Structure 1
Amino acid sequence: MCGIVAAVGDFDVNTCRRMLDRISHRGPDDSGEVHRPGVWLGHQRLSIMDVAGGHQPMVDAESTTYLVVNGEIYNHRHIREELGHELFETGSDSEAALHAFVVDGPAGLARLRGMFALAFASEDGGFLAARDPLGVKPLYWVRRDEVTLFASELRAFDAEDRPLVETFPPGHCWSPVGGLVRFADTVPAHVRPARRAEEPGVWERSLVKSVREAVVTAVENRMMSDVGVGVFLSGGLDSAIVAAVAAEYAARHGQPLPTFAVGAPGSSDLAAARTVAEYLHRLHGNIEHHEIAMTARDAVEALPRAVRAIEHFDPSLVRSAVPNLLLAEYASRWVHAVLTGEGADELFAGYAYYHEQPFTDPDALQAELVRTVGELHHLNLQRCDRASMAFGLEAREPFLDREVVELALSIPPEHKMVRPGVAEKKLLREAFEGCLPEAILSRGKEQFGDGSGAKDVLAEAVRSSPEVAAADGVELRSREEAAFYAIWWEELAGIRPERTLGRFATT
């Protein structure tokens, strides 16, 4: 995990270096840049794979193609097998992206399985930028007549460029010659439920087995690291499943597994996480559980830092970001990467509103699941990335593995609907029976900001905040959101929310 900046056209090198310096927190271990005619690449590195040999910008053996990457290529070993090990000089997963591009050009992006925002440059001034299909890793850009600028965070851009900042679309690549081209759909067009469920809530064992195997494979792929991996354990079903699979994998490899939980003293999240950690430790003997007790003062003091870190002012995101930030700050002292449960609710209909009108209709539910998965990069993924990377900590989301996404969205939506005797995410719960305590398998959905105790504390903290008039016609929905927007604007004045945060910030 890292931070990148890129420029193509008539740029100022000092501007590029200022931009890179503003995101140095994303990669505290190393920094690098390359300047070629009409192209500049900059990289802040968080060293996880091949700590000694993974410096960026990377360059191929002929010194004609350069690469900077923010993210992880989880199938890099498979790409090495396909392209030939003789091409590779390091153990870095990012090198797989470099050679895929050198061999196949932009078509090589289709080989990559993982989370990434990247930029290639060539000696003759060629350039290509790309972002993974789900937008797990952030990328923003500014297009002017004379120059195009890219960066991992909004804060990177100079004040005069901020009114032009836009979100670079997931699943797309851009070059000066070819323009903006889609190379992968966020949700592939072929992924549709195969058929209507004849008996909603009743499925064959083969489906349960497929769900379990897909999630297990995704978690195990994300355990790759030369510096250790931990788990953010909220005590909810999704993070508990991730922890269970990771604990078994780590035990097979003789490794400890640090787990991290945060909440107000006595909160339901802390209690549930402790139950999971103790259960897994009895099974595998390798859990190192850490609890961060969040006082009201901690939460209030972290609030402005959280808004600035996540570069967003949506109340539900901010409520989650406060405990997320405190968790990341602590966990970064122990590990460089953590696994999270992000994405499971959007894939398996975990949120309560999915089970209300109009989504009690299967087709409407399916359409909403597809939509919310496609919008994750504006919301929970942005919060997850920024809160962790504020402390140089990489977050990995196994449920957003391509195979898991495709499988989950191919399941008849009737199987995800709540009815008497059928709880939300019943299929997912059944897939991991025997891996977790029954109390956790049957625990109902609770928002992170609620379960951790942050919601009530923050609501009280902003109750007396003055109303704030928003700029650029942004419609603020509550006093709480207005208070968060004031903090956001102080940090990111000039940014147009509708261009960078998606429609949720304005409706």
Structure 2
Amino acid sequence: MCGIAGLFARDRQAPVDRSVLTRMRDSMTHRGPDGAGLWLAQGVGLAHRRLSVIDVEGSPQPMHSRDERTVIVFNGEIYNYRALRRELRQNGHRFSTEGDTEVILAAWREWGSRCLERLDGMFAFAIYDRNSRKLFLARDRFGVKPLFTATLPDGTFAFSSELKGLLAHPALEREVDPLAIEDYFTWGYVPDHRSILKGVEKLPAGHFMVVEHDMAPRPPERWWDISFADRHHMHEADEAEVIHSHLCDAIESRMVSDVPIGAFLSGGVDSSTVVALMSDLSDRPVTTCSIGFDVAGLDETAYARRIASQFSTDHHERMVDPAMFDRIDALAAMFDEPFADASALPTAEVCALARQHVTVALSGDGADEAFAGYRRHVFHAGEENARKWLPAGFRRKVFGPLAAIYPKADWAPRPLRARSTLHALALSGEEAYASALSVMGPQDRAAIFSPSMMRTLGGYRAEQPLIDLMRAAPARNGLDRAQYADLKFWLPGDILTKVDRTSMAVSLEAREPLLDHRLVEFAACLPKARRVFGGEGKYALKRAMAGDLPADILHRPKQGFVLPIAQWFRTDLRDTARAAVRSERLLDSGWFDADALSRLAEDHIAGRRDHARELWQLVMLERNMSLLSNN
């Protein structure tokens, strides 16, 4: 696991500034504290920070091919590199290291961009070909590893694993994109089709791009996609056996490491699945790490302890309380862009705890998206059944007005929030799912934005890209389209960003075995009833693990990894909430209506409404704007 950066001049004869490239690289020392490398030639420079995990003593980067024709910088892990190396050796390639970086170089020389289809892993890399003078960049299927890019005013193409690498370049323009503010207040993060700064982009997951001298960068090309258009026709027991086999293969491949390895353990189905199968595959106790909360209703440590005891793990845990809020500036600095998924704080804490014991940790991320494990999937599947029988015109005319007059019940469990259901049924499936995913709806955003901000947005609505994505999805039904959106939009923008930044901030490598592409591709072809059944999600995964995990662990309600921020903003952190909505930095931006922000905070503190997520968004944005202005 590493951090990479590079500069590629428009003029092939132009020199690359070594000191600038060094600053870009070293702004990400946390991603690679074990070593640093730099390589420059006319018109190009590549830089690398290394966290040693495989071939600890070898495989320095930037790495050259044996004939010096190609040079690579690589962030990630290729889990099938040994099998690929054997195949490439049979084709005449020779190797001088024991790591996976050299295998990528040889694979690219052998198969070109088609090599990506053969790579099983998480990665972002750049390869420079000295013969063609072209730069090739690629990102893994799901976007586990990040890659930011920008074209600077003089035409130089720059890239970096994190935005802070680009911010280290003095020529990068730092103008905030108002559309990103609209995106952020809709989703709680800036999705991958945009960045917080104008002119900065993210290479999309499952895409590659080619950059040449004297030319503008070519648009990224997609090399992988997930399809929900096909279906398996297997007996349930056979499906369960195939899923269990895929799980074992995925976890075993991700246990390959030359440094200590462990796992995150919440006590939920996904992390418990990982720990159970790791224990079966390991000849020593698995190191597990958990985070708990000072609010009993949100604390899952008892379940984690139970799994740790059942599988005799070397277990460690830490509690999160409001006092940890003093680390908010450090949390904001991890992300560069505003990021308001409140679970980032406990995720950062569990990563810091894990790093005290291991260098690599396996997580349970990805199963909810692949197997329909979120509560919103269950609700959406039910709503889609209703949409099939009720015409759209009828739903709009009947359910829309009913939703408008029905009392709002933020405090109630989702099944009792009839207003939310009525509102969803008045919409198309795509519009309803976008609404379910969003933090703030269009009316709520318009209520806090200033008139000038609304004019600047010019009618842009952040939900539309997700709606368009769902409508174009290779899918058979609404649940398929929802899961496709999760895998392509929510997962890289929120979940994987959160885990990458919080783990890399403490030089910990996180691996996601439940995002093995063969497992996810198999899950995408499961019949709908094998995903959501009997009002419960992840049916097929739970069936596959029935022989390994207790029934009450498999079937207990999903709790989620969230902070009790609603309570905190009414008690320990109410002054923080008030300070955020009165921040000169936010109010001077011209984006907000000051009175509306003040009402939002006071209504929450008084208990009239639940605006905890919106307040967290404002707090994190204020901290982020401070960091951007100081770079």
TM-score by length of 1: 0.87
Quote the offset at 1:49 in angstroms: 0.2
Return the alpha-carbon distance in structure 1 between the equivalents of residues 514 and 566 of structure 2.
25
1:477-501 Cα shifts (integer Å, max 9, x gaps): 8232111110121123499xxxxxx
Match of 1:499 in 2: none
Is the Cα contact below 8 Å between 1:170 and 1:186 reproduced in 2?
A: no
1:405-449 Cα shifts (integer Å, max 9, x gaps): 101111122322243xx5222221111112123331222111101
Return the alpha-carbon distance in structure 1 between the equivalents of residues 590 and 377 of structure 2.
32
1:74-128 Cα shifts (integer Å, max 9, x gaps): 1101111210176111111222111111222223222211110001123343321
Match of 1:284 in 2: none
Confirm or deny that 1:272 pairs with 2:266.
Answer: no
Which of 530, 541, 562 does residue 428 from structure 1 map onto? 541
Return the alpha-carbon distance in structure 1 between the equivalents of residues 497 and 378 of structure 2.
25
Return the alpha-carbon distance in structure 1 between the equivalents of residues 566 and 59 of structure 2.
41
Gaps of 5+ in 2: 175-196, 386-476, 598-612
Confirm or deny that 1:259 pairs with 2:311.
Answer: no
Is the Cα contact below 8 Å between 1:313 and 1:488 reproduced in 2?
A: yes
- Aligned residue identity for 2:618: A
Match of 1:59 in 2: 64
Confirm or deny that 1:241 pairs with 2:273.
Answer: yes
Match of 1:90 in 2: 97
Query: Equivalent residue of 1:449, what SS?
Result: coil
1:237-267 Cα shifts (integer Å, max 9, x gaps): 101101111111112xxx3311000112565
- Aligned residue identity for 1:75: N
Query: Equivalent residue of 2:256, what SS?
Result: coil
Return the alpha-carbon distance in structure 2 between the equivalents of residues 66 and 426 of structure 1.
46
- Aligned residue identity for 1:277: A
Is the Cα contact below 8 Å between 1:320 and 1:454 reproduced in 2?
A: no
Gaps of 5+ in 1: 282-286, 496-507
Return the alpha-carbon distance in structure 1 between the equivalents of residues 592 and 24 of structure 2.
27
Confirm or deny that 1:350 pairs with 2:373.
Answer: yes
Is the Cα contact below 8 Å between 2:332 and 2:339 reproduced in 1?
A: no
Return the alpha-carbon distance in structure 2 between the equivalents of residues 325 and 465 of structure 1.
24
Taking a change above 3 Å as real, the CA distance of residues 250 and 403 of structure 1, as seen in their structure-2 partners, is same
Is the Cα contact below 8 Å between 2:380 and 2:479 reproduced in 1?
A: no
Query: Where do residues 116-127 of structure 1 align in structure 2 (5 Å cutoff)?
Result: 116-124=123-131, 125-127=133-135
Is the Cα contact below 8 Å between 1:155 and 1:492 reproduced in 2?
A: no
Return the alpha-carbon distance in structure 2 between the equivalents of residues 474 and 47 of structure 1.
45
Quote the offset at 1:314 in angstroms: 4.3
**How many residue pairs end up in the alignment?**
473
Match of 1:79 in 2: 84
Is the Cα contact below 8 Å between 2:5 and 2:24 reproduced in 1?
A: yes
Taking a change above 3 Å as real, the CA distance of residues 438 and 193 of structure 1, as seen in their structure-2 partners, is same
Confirm or deny that 1:413 pairs with 2:561.
Answer: no
Confirm or deny that 1:185 pairs with 2:194.
Answer: no
Match of 2:447 in 1: none
Query: Equivalent residue of 2:343, what SS?
Result: helix
Of structures 1 and 2, the larger Rg is shown by 2
Query: Equivalent residue of 1:176, what SS?
Result: strand
Of residues 134-143 and 305-314 in structure 1, the stretch that sits farther from structure 2 once superposed is 305-314
Match of 2:455 in 1: none
Confirm or deny that 1:38 pairs with 2:43.
Answer: yes
Query: Equivalent residue of 1:129, what SS?
Result: strand
Taking a change above 3 Å as real, the CA distance of residues 312 and 209 of structure 1, as seen in their structure-2 partners, is farther
Confirm or deny that 1:170 pairs with 2:209.
Answer: no
Which of 377, 382, 387 does residue 492 from structure 2 map onto? 377
Query: Equivalent residue of 2:288, what SS?
Result: strand
Match of 2:333 in 1: 308
Return the alpha-carbon distance in structure 2 between the equivalents of residues 212 and 168 of structure 1.
33
Match of 1:500 in 2: none
Which of 207, 210, 213 does residue 242 from structure 2 map onto? 210
Query: Equivalent residue of 1:225, what SS?
Result: coil
Match of 1:146 in 2: 155
Query: Equivalent residue of 2:282, what SS?
Result: helix
Match of 1:49 in 2: 54
Taking a change above 3 Å as real, the CA distance of residues 244 and 455 of structure 1, as seen in their structure-2 partners, is farther
Which of 334, 347, 350 does residue 327 from structure 1 map onto? 350
Return the alpha-carbon distance in structure 1 between the equivalents of residues 501 and 578 of structure 2.
28
Is the Cα contact below 8 Å between 2:139 and 2:204 reproduced in 1?
A: yes
Is the Cα contact below 8 Å between 1:310 and 1:321 reproduced in 2?
A: no
1:361-404 Cα shifts (integer Å, max 9, x gaps): 27111101011101111111000000000011011011111101
1:195-237 Cα shifts (integer Å, max 9, x gaps): 7x9xxxx952111111111112111111010002110111111
Is the Cα contact below 8 Å between 2:31 and 2:49 reproduced in 1?
A: yes
Match of 1:446 in 2: 559
Of residues 341-350 and 385-394 in structure 1, the stretch that sits farther from structure 2 once superposed is 341-350
Query: Equivalent residue of 2:223, what SS?
Result: coil
TM-score by length of 2: 0.71
Match of 2:610 in 1: none
Is the Cα contact below 8 Å between 1:233 and 1:273 reproduced in 2?
A: yes
